[in-house]
Structure formats: structure tokens, C-alpha cells
Structure 1
Amino acid sequence: MKKLLLLPAAALLLTSCTVMDIVGPRANGEVMALAKQASADWVFGDPASEQWRELRKAQGDELQNEARRLCGLDTAGNTPASCDVAYGDTDLPAASNADALLERTVAAADKVPSETVDLVVAQAIDALALSPVDLDALTDPASDAVTVPVADPADAEAVRDMLARENAVDYGLGIALAYAGPELRERIGILRKACHERTAVLSQLLDTADGEAKVPASGYEFADGYAEPADAEEAAQLVKTMQSDLVKQWRYQAAHAESAQWRENAIRLAAQAQRA
């Protein structure tokens, strides 16, 4: 008799939800942890750092949307009810800073779905780029943060590629300088200084036996999409295009790194290039 009484109660419980509510997709835990941290940085962050807080608010929203996207859609075209991405202030950790975000991103990149890596790495780059990125410690032998040669073959090849690109950009900036007015000359000076700082780090990341890769090519030709300038306007356009393309390439390399070591350095380098 007791068993019969239990059956209607169970039946009533099931009528309030669907099978998808019980066995449907759940929001990715790693993505949600990053979303909560971003929200914490917005809610509990330094009120004086409005730019940082607003960026982190937007990034938290992006991560919640990414968690929904990863869950997919049900037959009605809606996010499954089981994919709960809601949380309140009481669910949030303490606020953090850009350096902590970098460390967290490098760790999370190996855990989030591969299709989400681009997003979390891009967020770290944008956050670091809000403030000056100091690369001096990465090339100072006395620093605990000094870089060591990249061991992963694919990453080492990426380092060589970016070093070659940086050298080519430096050459192009030198060509543009010949046609530049005062304002553009100042801009080129800033970009070349930043370029030289990045090449110093990249040289450290290459094995010392790979010295030839550190030497700029003896001559360069302008590839498709670039044109040797003939006046100040064309020089300004060349500088703008080279810088934009270089930042895009840095962001790509950071997202596609094989090792944590190269990913962390590439994120820093990408942020420094983006801020220049």
C-alpha cells in the first residue's frame, strides 16, 4: 500500500520538468568559473579602475553566452533548461587583477573546449593591454621571470615566425620613417621601441644554438597587401596596416600555443603589441 502511495508523488514530481532538465547539457564548469571571476572583478573591483571593471563586466557576459552556446539548442531552438548560467553575488570569488587573470587563463586554456580557447585568450590579452606591459623582467638574467628557451618544436617554430615578422615590421617602419612628418615619426618611434622589446624576448625564447634565426634578413620585399610608400599619407597607411596585421598575428599565436610557457609569453607579447 505504501508503494502505491509513493507512485503518484513521483509522477507529480516528473510532470514539473522534462527529461532534458534531468539529463540535458550542463554549463561548462571551466567557462563558468571564468565568468564568475570576471563578474567578481566587475562587482568587487576597485571603483577607481572603471575601464577594468567595465571590460570585465563585458567579458563575464561573453563567457556566459559562450557557456550557453556550448550547451547547444533544444528541438524548439532554445537553450536547454538544464544549462543554467545564472549566479548571484554570493557565488562570486574575490576580485583579482590582470596578472592573476593571465595565470588563470594559461591554466584554463588546457581545460576549456578547444573552440573556446580563442575567446579566453583574447580576453586576457585585452585585459593586460589596459595597462603598460613591462617585458624587461623577461630578459633580465637577475629576474625570476626571465624567459627560458621554448622546448616544444611547434612553439619554437612559432617563435621563429614571429621573430621574422617583427624584424620585417621593423624594416617597414624604417622605410615609412623616410616619408613621415613629425607626428608619424613619433608614432614610428614608439612602435619600433616596442618592436625591439619583443624581439629581445623572442631571442631569449630561442635556443642559443639557433643563432641564425635571430638575425634579420639581409633584404625585404613588400608582400601582397603592402605597398612601398611614396609620400606621408602612404607611409601612415603602411604603418597602420603593418601594426594591425602584427597584432592579429600575435593574438593568433597566443591562442594556438602548444605549451603553457609559450602561451603565457605570447599573451604578454600580444598585449604589449596591442597597447603600443
Structure 2
Amino acid sequence: MNRRRIALILVATTATLPALTGCQAVDSVVDYFGPRPENRLLALADSAATDALALNGVDDHAAGIRSSQADALYAEITRLCGTDDAGNPPRSCEVERPTKANRAADSSEVMENAASATTAAADEVTVESRTLVTEQAIALNAWLPGDAPAIPELSQPEQKSAADLLAWEYEQVYALDFARAYVGAEHEDNVDHRLEVHHRRIDALQEALGRYGTVPQPEPAYSSGDQELPHDSASALDFLGGLAEQDGRKWSAAAAQAAQEESPDQDWITWLIGIAAESHSMR
């Protein structure tokens, strides 16, 4: 649309507005045509803010999580709308944060509902915001107890991603087995638990990929990447901490990438978010 056409529209629109002077008329047009908060993002932000109020004094840790998430979501709304030199969004994009909420009876129910709604929205918000929403879904699912969901049927692109994740899991098991030889006896149960989790993921990925053809097998050995291999108990604990951080980042990135696909698969995203949450809870 050319500038002359835009100017004519603005003139015509201004003519339909009440008789206003100078800046008032311009402000009214800007308010009418200006950017608006993305509806799904605003709903998530308002829900997080309401949850924080409802949980305050009931479960302060959960309230803090939801308050921080609300802050991030409102900031994302402002970022998408744009700001003036003073950092303020257009009036058309201003939002009012909830200030009242009924006191929650059960923090688990609130957080479970939040996790479900945020997970469902991971591929529904604007593409630019999907990484943020996916990260929040992971944090909420990590707060909840319970196992990760069952792996769904895989499309061809998802099979490629699953094969990459399977190779990653093989590498994690190799590294954990190596580190177990150096940790003290008091840490062996923790390592064994982590090995059990990774083997469960391997079984799920192998079974899912086996429906479509040959399943990738583990290599005889793997490098330690940027980490130095452990040589005693202290270095083994550092090594294990590094592995946990890397695992959380790997699965979080896989979930965010899946949410940003042109035709995202909600079941696949939900599974990836569940596994990423599991990784974060093991840190």
C-alpha cells in the first residue's frame, strides 16, 4: 500500500472521529491503528500474574516462579509492540496486570493447570515468542512430580531429530558410566538413578524409531567434548554437574526448535518438553 493511500485512509478515519485538536486527533488514530498485545501471550501473562497472587502465602516458591514468568511475558508483549525513546509501549499496547485473585487451596493444582496451558500454547503464540513459552512450560513441568509422557508416532522430520537425540543419550550413558568409576560410594545411587532415566529414554527412542527402519546403535566410545574427563571423586562430581547442564540445554533446545517448525506437532512438542523437564529436575 503506497503512502498516498495510507494518508487517505488516515484522513478518512480521522474524519469519523469526534472533533479533536492537534495531538488528540493523532493519538486517537494511533490508538485505533496501533499494535495490540498478542492475545495468546496476554492470556498467558495474565494467568501467570493471577497464579502468583493466588499462591502468595500458600507456596511462596511456586508464587515466585509464576511471578517471574508473568514479568517475562509482559516484557515480551512490550518487546513485540515496540517502545518509544522513553521505553514506553504505544497506548494501544498497554496492559493492566491483575491485582486480585482468590487464595489458592492447592498449589499443585494451580501449577499443574499452568503447566498444561503453557505446554499447549508453546506452538500457538507468535513464532518469536515460542522459545520463551517453551522454556516456561519446561520449568512448570519440572516443578511437578511424575514421569515424562509416552513418545508419540514420529513424522519423517521428527525421526531425524529422534535419531540425533538417541545418539545424545548413548553419549550420556557412556559418560555417566565413566564417571561412576570415580565418584564416592555416597554418590553412586544418584548416578545409577540418572543412568536409569537415560536408559529409559533410549528404550523409548529405539522403540519409536524401530517402527520406521534401522535403529542407530551406540558407538564404541565417545569424546568428552569441552569437559575434561574425571580422574578422582572431586573431578567426577564436577563432570556430572556439567553433564546435567548440557543435557538440560540439549533437550530444551530440541523442544524449542520443534515448537518453531512451520507445522508443529503438539504431541512431539509435549514429549520433548516432558523430557527436558525431567532433565532440569535432575540438576
Deviation at 1:130, TM superposition (A): 1.3
List gaps (5 residues or longer) in structure 1.
Answer: 1-5, 139-145
1:259 is the counterpart of 2:253: no
- Distance in 2, matches of 1:69 and 1:123, equals 17
Deviation at 1:209, TM superposition (A): 3.8
Q: Which residue identity is paired with 1:23?
A: F
Match of 2:250 in 1: 249
Decide whether the 8 Å contact of 2:50 with 2:100 is kept in 1. Answer: no
- Distance in 2, matches of 1:35 and 1:57, equals 9
- Distance in 2, matches of 1:229 and 1:122, equals 31
Decide whether the 8 Å contact of 1:68 with 1:85 is kept in 2. Answer: no
Instruction: Deviation per CA, 1:190-247: give whole Å up to 9, x if none.
Output: 221222233333334334243523x4x1412314303322222222222111111111
Decide whether the 8 Å contact of 1:177 with 1:185 is kept in 2. Answer: yes
Change (3 A) 1:79 1:208: same
1:156 is the counterpart of 2:159: yes
List gaps (5 residues or longer) in structure 2.
Answer: 1-14, 259-263
Deviation at 1:185, TM superposition (A): 2.0
- Distance in 2, matches of 1:22 and 1:8, equals 10
1:127 is the counterpart of 2:140: yes
Decide whether the 8 Å contact of 1:52 with 1:127 is kept in 2. Answer: no
Runs of 4+ in 1 over 4 A off after TM superposition: 6-9, 89-92
CA RMSD of aligned residues (A): 2.9
- Distance in 2, matches of 1:107 and 1:237, equals 36
1:275 is the counterpart of 2:281: yes
Match of 1:183 in 2: 186
Higher alpha-carbon deviation: 67-76 or 163-172: 67-76
Deviation at 1:98, TM superposition (A): 4.0
Match of 1:198 in 2: 201
Match of 2:34 in 1: 24
Match of 1:172 in 2: 175
Identity, in percent, stands at 27
Deviation at 1:132, TM superposition (A): 2.4
Change (3 A) 1:74 1:24: farther
Deviation at 1:89, TM superposition (A): 4.7
Change (3 A) 1:14 1:87: same
Change (3 A) 1:241 1:81: same
Higher alpha-carbon deviation: 54-63 or 43-52: 43-52
Decide whether the 8 Å contact of 1:177 with 1:188 is kept in 2. Answer: yes
Higher alpha-carbon deviation: 175-184 or 199-208: 199-208
Change (3 A) 1:13 1:36: farther
Match of 2:228 in 1: 227
Match of 2:50 in 1: 40
Decide whether the 8 Å contact of 1:251 with 1:267 is kept in 2. Answer: yes
- Distance in 2, matches of 1:98 and 1:85, equals 24
Equivalent residues in 2 for 1:49-128, closer than 5 Å: 49-74=59-84, 77-89=87-99, 97-128=110-141
Decide whether the 8 Å contact of 1:102 with 1:264 is kept in 2. Answer: no
- Distance in 2, matches of 1:103 and 1:157, equals 27
- Distance in 1, matches of 2:145 and 2:116, equals 17
Decide whether the 8 Å contact of 2:151 with 2:268 is kept in 1. Answer: no
Decide whether the 8 Å contact of 2:152 with 2:268 is kept in 1. Answer: no
Q: Which residue identity is paired with 2:137?
A: A
- Distance in 2, matches of 1:77 and 1:46, equals 30
- Distance in 2, matches of 1:73 and 1:173, equals 48
Please state whether the residue corresponding to 1:74 is helix, strand or coil: coil
Deviation at 1:111, TM superposition (A): 2.7
Decide whether the 8 Å contact of 1:166 with 1:199 is kept in 2. Answer: yes
Please state whether the residue corresponding to 1:129 is helix, strand or coil: helix
Normalising by structure 2, what TM-score? 0.80
